[in-house]
Amino acid sequence: MKILVCGSTGFIGRNIVESLSKVKGCRVTAVYNKKPQFLIDNVDFVQADLTVVDDVARVVRSHDVVIQAAANTTGVKDVIERPYIHVTDNAVMNSLILKSCYDNNIKKIIFFSCTVMYQTKSQPFLEKQVTESDFDPSNEIFPGYFGVGWTKVYIEKMCEFYSRLGRTKHYVIRHSNIYGPHDKFDLENSHVFGATVNKILNKKSEEVNIWGDGLEKRDFLYIDDLVESVKKIISISSKKPFYLLNIGSGSAISIKNLVNVIIKVSGVKDKRIIYDDSKPTVKTSISLDCSLAKAVIDWRPKVSLEEGIKKTIYWYERNIVK
């Protein structure tokens, strides 16, 4: 089976490439652009700008499965202050990839969406477990996520549109907050998990400054569990041309409790925790109901939060800490 992984040097893409490279019978082609390729056996790397029509056509052809993990993503600071950077390139890139998959009769495409469309302006502090059908387009998406949220919804609908044309089966994954090896840990671009690990393990500072009051809750999922869902999608044979699946842990933890667990697992002591509510934060609290993923692809999360944190810290201390 010939598999193309777009965004292969990013957090999610790299973990997928590393896992699929070990699967017998898989021929993996890994697309990268600005971030350089890495050393790995059984993988062919190709450089391409996925916002350019000819580049997309060149890399997509002659594959069975396309995994679209390429995206312009950063942290909450940009979501609040520069939300436009997550809109244009992502919309163009995915429109071209989906069209090329159709033109080249690709059997399956897997697209990574997100969960920000569940968070509405009318209920920004909503705390509930949401199913795929809980997104109501008549509700305005939380203002901080308006651009990226509707961009993701647009791409989801493009997947559904092309699936109705009958050539390619489309799987959309609405995943929760993913963490683990190869995540972004620098404070400028990281999400809440990576930033928190960085701050707690920073031996140069006795303070851990957390953006927000720490009361908002998030659904965190270890990267290996997400990768496993991708492998199950690749292997299954389904009659329906389109699936939209929640992939998450199914439970939410407050940022305060997350900080406490990371401190406990890391063994770090004598850190002063400061919660700064003046910093950018999105005060929403949801977790994902993943019953449909269990029914369709026989998937369920296996790695507990504490175990995932242990694995992440082990990797971080050997690959990031200088």
Between 43 and 282, the higher pLDDT residue = 43
Between 36 and 227, the higher pLDDT residue = 227
Q: Is residue 225 part of a domain?
A: yes
CATH number, residue 65: 3.40.50.720
Q: Is residue 319 part of a domain?
A: no
- Confidence at residue 127, expressed as pLDDT on a 0 to 100 scale: 57
Q: Is residue 313 part of a domain?
A: no
Q: Express each pLDDT in 174-188 by its tens digit.
A: 999 999 999 999 887
- Confidence at residue 110, expressed as pLDDT on a 0 to 100 scale: 99
Q: Is residue 201 part of a domain?
A: no
Tell me what the mean pLDDT of segment 232-242 comes to: 94
- Confidence at residue 138, expressed as pLDDT on a 0 to 100 scale: 82
> Per-residue pLDDT for 235 more than 80?
yes
pTM for this structure? 0.93
Q: Express each pLDDT in 78-97 by its tens digit.
A: 666 777 777 888 999 999 99
- Confidence at residue 78, expressed as pLDDT on a 0 to 100 scale: 64
Our separate counts of H helices and E strands in the chain read 10, 15
The gap from C-alpha 169 to its chain's centroid, in whole angstroms, comes to 20
313-318: long-range contacts at Cβ-Cβ below 8 A with a sequence spacing of 24 or more?
A: 313/197, 313/201, 313/262, 313/265, 313/266, 315/180, 315/181, 316/181, 316/185, 316/197, 316/201, 317/201
C-alpha span between 147 and 132 (Å, rounded):
20
Q: What are phi and psi of 84, to 5 degrees?
A: -65, -25
Among 90-104, 132-146, 248-262, the range scoring the smallest mean pLDDT is: 132-146
Q: Express each pLDDT in 277-304 by its tens digit.
A: 887 677 777 889 999 999 999 999 999 9
Q: Is residue 134 part of a domain?
A: yes
- Confidence at residue 124, expressed as pLDDT on a 0 to 100 scale: 43
DSSP-assigned states of every residue in 26-39: -EEEEEESSSPP--
Q: Is residue 20 part of a domain?
A: yes
Q: Any residues with CB less than 8 A from the CB of 139 and at least 6 apart, and which? A: 120, 121, 122
Containing domain of residue 93, as a range? 2-180+220-248+286-302
Tell me what the mean pLDDT of segment 232-244 comes to: 94
C-alpha span between 58 and 194 (Å, rounded):
34
How many domains would you assign to the chain?
A: 1
**Per-residue pLDDT band at 34 (split at 50, 70, 90):** confident
Q: Is residue 193 part of a domain?
A: no
- Confidence at residue 129, expressed as pLDDT on a 0 to 100 scale: 78
Q: Is residue 64 part of a domain?
A: yes
> Per-residue pLDDT for 148 more than 60?
yes
- Confidence at residue 322, expressed as pLDDT on a 0 to 100 scale: 62
